[in-house]
Amino acid sequence: MIRACLFDMGNVLVHFSHTRMLEQMATVCHCEPQLLKEWLFESGRLLDYERGSISDDELHSQIEQLLGIKIDPEKLRLAASDIFSVNEPIVPLLEELRKKEIPLILLSNTSRIHFEHIRQQFSILDYFDRFVLSYQVGMIKPEPGIFEIAAQKAQTAPENCFFTDDIPENITAARQAGLQAEQFHNAAQLSQFLGEKLSLDAFTR
């Protein structure tokens, strides 16, 4: 039985572009996008930031040290965050789940600046009752502990939690933690799946 639904954020609720992020940050930093890609992604530094091991101020200071220049923090924040758009086809499903009074939990690997930007710019997070955010809990998917925290936030047994994510490794980890889980491909696929599981009339007619 499904008593709570847990959603990933990136490429499920919102689309995003790391390419756009790197290009915009590079413009602000007066450097090449490839340099930032290597420094942030290939080093694992971005994952440490999303885990909360590096603070916003620390990351900003490290970028300034890397480039040897002063960088406007607000311009850099906007360059790094203005990369999202809402996955509009998922909204009707969220509305139906709310009508059924199914608790909705956000379970996301994210940073404070990305989460706050999405919450300020879009209303899609208003559908959610609780949030499990990597930078707050000090863990990232697919680490087992973050799924345990999510089930606790859902206030039901793990086997009664349904989780969806676009990354296969996270689905495997969720299942190993005892949750029901299906990989997200598109809103129509997920709506059909949950429509049948939860008898959502809008998706089972």
Strand partners, 108: 133
Contact 164, 153 (CB under 8 A): no
User: Do 177 and 89 lie in a common domain?
Assistant: yes
Please spell the DSSP secondary structure of 104-141, one letter per residue. Answer: EEEEE---HHHHHHHHHH-SGGGG-SEEEEHHHHT--T
User: Do 51 and 92 lie in a common domain?
Assistant: no
Q: What is the pTM of this model?
A: 0.95
User: Do 129 and 194 lie in a common domain?
Assistant: yes
Structural domains of the chain, count? 2
What's the gap between Cα 60 and its chain centre? Answer: 22
Q: Give the pLDDT score at 203.
A: 82
User: Do 129 and 65 lie in a common domain?
Assistant: no
Of 61, 81, 101, the residue at which a domain comes to its end is 81
Contact 154, 129 (CB under 8 A): no
Q: Which residues contact 36 (CB under 8 A, 6 or more apart)?
A: 22, 25, 26, 29
Q: Which of 183, 181, 187, 180 is nearest to 203 (CA)?
A: 187
Of 81, 115, 131, the residue at which a domain comes to its end is 81
Within a 13 Å sphere around the CA of 175, how many CA atoms are in the beta-carbon half? Answer: 11
Q: Give the pLDDT score at 202.
A: 79
Q: Give the pLDDT score at 205.
A: 60
User: Do 91 and 185 lie in a common domain?
Assistant: yes
Q: Read off the tokens for 93.
A: 């499903």
Q: Return d(Cα 107, Cα 125) in angstroms, integer.
A: 12
Q: Token pair 């080093």 is at which residue?
A: 43
Domain with residue 43: its CATH number is: 1.10.150
Write out residues in the chain with pLDDT < 70, as ranges: 204-205
Q: Give the pLDDT score at 201.
A: 79
Which structural domain range is residue 60 located in? 18-81
**CB < 8 Å & 24+ apart, contacts of 175-178:** 176/144, 177/144, 177/147, 177/148, 177/151, 178/151
Q: Give the pLDDT score at 10.
A: 98
